């Protein structure tokens, strides 16, 4: 709970739901990553929250940046960061976007197939590439699909091919899955990465870098391990699999960097029941899946919610958003306990909303504005 955010909300005079991000917490998070993994470079995953104030703060703290598009690259360059602090981490890129990134000075690119290597060789000659390897994501709250990465055998062929086309076969990346609470996940992935390093060495190519991706969790309602425990587990796994030849390493925290730094203020629009006999209250907020809380999809993330009636007796409620869309329901399979005294017009605070809220917002579904954002 950030007192600075509460103060800001007390003073604000605009109407409607908004997210407020506290830069002090982002700064603390950056320092925690830097301290816990002192030999690892932090590449902030811009997609989690690309607010210019957040990017500028992280630039000033010495962070590097993981970008998904030329649009994100340009946002980062606008902070004054040099292009050598940028990784174009999307494995799916148009050739003309690779060319634009190269013109901007970007020299580090993700790939997971030879087709992408060919594009980079054509328009970003001499660049460093890292190959993303499929990882099974066991233990993650959101295991990833197979969308990104290739199997480790194919990765060695992709890297060798890049080398032959004059690119620098630089390393390997993986992603253990979002909101990953299982510290062992990195051990499994690092073992696989070390295998690719060994195979490449046999082919006469020395890889340099392991990009360990993101997946660092934010605390929602369930407890999660703290950053220091991740740092320890990751360092031990690195030593176990790479011995005394530790590669240079990168992490790409997004949610872990900004998730707990933001809070949404929303308003109770309606509280009703479906029939006279119905015990279940439906509570409708002015925020839902289409203007900020997309990550409640499948009720995957359960945000902590504070109300002005906390302490009163609670009963289970279905919680829903304000649009005329029946999928715009936040918690129904597992109803949310809310005070019986909660009233129409009450303001509620939704915690840990700094990541993946503003940018998931629709442009104006049902005529509602995208989530307003304040960074303080």
String marking each residue 130-169 x if it binds its own copies according to CB under 8 A: ----x-------x-xxxxxxxx-xx--x------------
* Binding-site member from 244, 245, 275, 334 for its own copies (CB under 8 A): 275
x/- contact string, 65-94, with its own copies (CB under 8 A)? Answer: --xxxxxxx-x-------------xxxxxx
d(C-alpha 119, C-alpha 230), whole Å: 36
Pairing between β-strand 248-251 and β-strand 40-45 as defined by DSSP bridges:
parallel
d(C-alpha 140, C-alpha 94), whole Å: 30
Residue 9 vs 114, nearer CB to its own copies = 114
Cα gap 58→375, rounded to integer Å = 13
Q: Which of 187, 328, 346, 351 binds its own copies (CB under 8 A)?
A: 328
Kindly state whether residue 122 participates in binding its own copies, applying the rule CB under 8 A: no
What is the Cα–Cα distance from 45 to 66, expressed in whole angstroms?
5
Q: How far lies 244's CA from each of 47, 200, 218, 238, 239, in Å? A: 34, 18, 32, 9, 7
- Contacting residues for 341 by C-beta, under 8 A, at least 6 apart: 309, 312, 313
324 annotated active-site: yes
Residue in 191, 273, 312, 315 binding its own copies, rule: CB under 8 A: 273
Beta-strand ranges (E) seen in 4-73 are 18-21, 40-45, 64-67
Least separation in angstroms between residue 366's CB and its own copies is 4
Among 282, 302, 304, 316, indicate the residue that binds its own copies (CB under 8 A).
Answer: 282
Number of residues that bind its own copies (CB under 8 A): 76
| Matching residue, tokens 């392991």 | 210
- The catalytically annotated residue of 135, 150, 317, 324 is 324
Residue selected from 270, 337, 340, 376 as contacting its own copies according to rule CB under 8 A:
270
Q: Which of 65, 186, 242, 284 binds its own copies (CB under 8 A)?
A: 284
| Residues numbered 40-59 forming contacts with its own copies, rule: CB under 8 A | 45-47, 50
Q: Which residue has the tokens 């939704």?
A: 350
C-alpha to C-alpha distance for 293 and 335, rounded to whole angstroms: 16
Considering beta carbons, is residue 27 or 359 the nearer one to its own copies?
359
């Amino acid at each position: 709970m950030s007192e600075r955010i509460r103060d800001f909300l007390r003073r604000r005079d605009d109407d409607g739901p908004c997210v407020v991000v506290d830069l002090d917490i982002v700064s603390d998070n950056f320092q925690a990553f830097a301290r816990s993994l002192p030999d690892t470079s932090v590449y902030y995953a811009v997609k989690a929250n690309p607010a210019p104030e957040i990017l500028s703060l992280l630039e000033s703290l010495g962070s590097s940046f993981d970008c998904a598009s030329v649009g994100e690259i340009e946002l980062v360059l606008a902070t004054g960061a040099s292009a050598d602090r940028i990784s174009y981490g999307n494995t799916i890129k148009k050739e003309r976007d690779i060319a634009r990134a190269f013109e901007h000075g970007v020299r580090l690119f993700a790939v997971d197939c030879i087709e992408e290597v060919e594009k980079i060789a054509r328009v970003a000659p001499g660049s460093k590439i890292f190959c993303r390897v499929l990882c099974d994501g066991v233990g993650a709250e959101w295991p990833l699909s197979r969308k990104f990465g290739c199997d480790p055998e194919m990765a060695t062929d992709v890297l060798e091919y890049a080398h032959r086309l004059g690119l620098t076969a630089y390393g390997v990346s993986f992603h253990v899955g979002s909101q990953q609470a299982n510290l062992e996940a990195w051990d499994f992935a690092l073992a696989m990465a070390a295998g690719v390093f060994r195979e490449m060495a046999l082919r006469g190519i020395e890889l340099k870098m392991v990009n360990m991706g993101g997946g660092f969790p934010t605390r929602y309602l369930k407890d999660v391990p703290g950053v220091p425990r991740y740092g320890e587990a990751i360092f031990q796994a690195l030593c176990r699999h790479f011995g005394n030849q530790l590669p240079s390493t990168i992490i790409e925290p997004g949610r872990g960097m900004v998730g707990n730094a933001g809070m949404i203020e929303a308003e109770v629009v309606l509280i009703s029941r479906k029939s006279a006999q119905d015990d279940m209250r439906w509570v409708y907020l002015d925020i839902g899946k289409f203007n900020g809380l997309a990550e409640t999809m499948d009720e995957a993330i359960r945000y902590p919610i504070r109300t002005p009636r906390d302490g009163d007796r609670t009963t289970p409620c279905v919680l829903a958003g304000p649009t005329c869309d029946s999928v715009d329901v936040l918690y129904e399979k597992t109803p949310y306990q809310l005070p019986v005294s909660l009233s129409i017009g009450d303001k509620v605070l939704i915690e840990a909303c700094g990541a993946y809220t503003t940018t998931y917002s629709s442009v104006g579904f049902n005529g509602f504005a995208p989530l307003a954002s304040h960074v303080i």
